[in-house]
Amino acid sequence: MERLRFRTLEEILYELMTGLLFYPLTLWRVLLEPAQISDAAGERAADRVSAPLFLLISILAAHGLDLAMGSALGEAAGTFGPAPLLFRALTFSLLPLVLAAGVLRREGRPVNHATLRTPFDLQCFYAAPLAISISVAAVLARAGTPPVRLAGLLLGLGAAAWHLCVQTRWIRARLGVGRFRALRTALWLTGVALFFCLLSTPLIFGLGG
């Protein structure tokens, strides 16, 4: 059994600070070159943030944008509790896990630490831009003016369409299936992840309240 490697405080701080430095470049590559990220998944690039850290920074950035934009739009202070952060973290962490495990099952491969790591890392890269975009879109959709609400709706739809297209292309290449079947698989696995997130909503927001 592989032993867990406990990092020192200095190593953790170094990972966080370099992650912030390389975050914009990683985000740019994921958005514009998702296929290259897919080919390099599981590898540690010298100028790229590790996948879990990339997703973590994105979730925290999305929450920070939610707070800042919500305050600017005059939202009540009660909306700024821990529940939105918990729900956001669960949603955008469970989505990569379900998609990665679901594709492994369809390949007929066992789901374990060895097989799950590479597809999970890739899904973390794909989920990070979605987390930021959906969070910003949700804040805009709560705004009072119709043009801003429309902008939020378009941003949310665009982010969802981008994520679905990327997933469809990846599943099609990974499973060797047609475009329609890949799209159906992507929709199904995304729906499963969102279903479990919705099941936890009463508990999370109940505790947050």
Number of CB atoms found within 10 A of residue 54's CB: 23
**What is the C-alpha to C-alpha distance for residues 48 and 114, in angstroms, rounded to an integer?**
22
**What is the C-alpha to C-alpha distance for residues 173 and 103, in angstroms, rounded to an integer?**
11
For 21-61, how does the pLDDT look when each residue is reduced to its tens digit (9 = 90+)? Answer: 888 888 998 988 887 776 566 566 666 788 888 999 999 99
Structure tokens at 203: 């508990």
8 A C-beta contact, residue 55 and residue 96: yes
For 74-121, how does the pLDDT look when each residue is reduced to its tens digit (9 = 90+)? Answer: 654 445 567 778 888 888 999 999 999 999 999 999 999 889 999 999
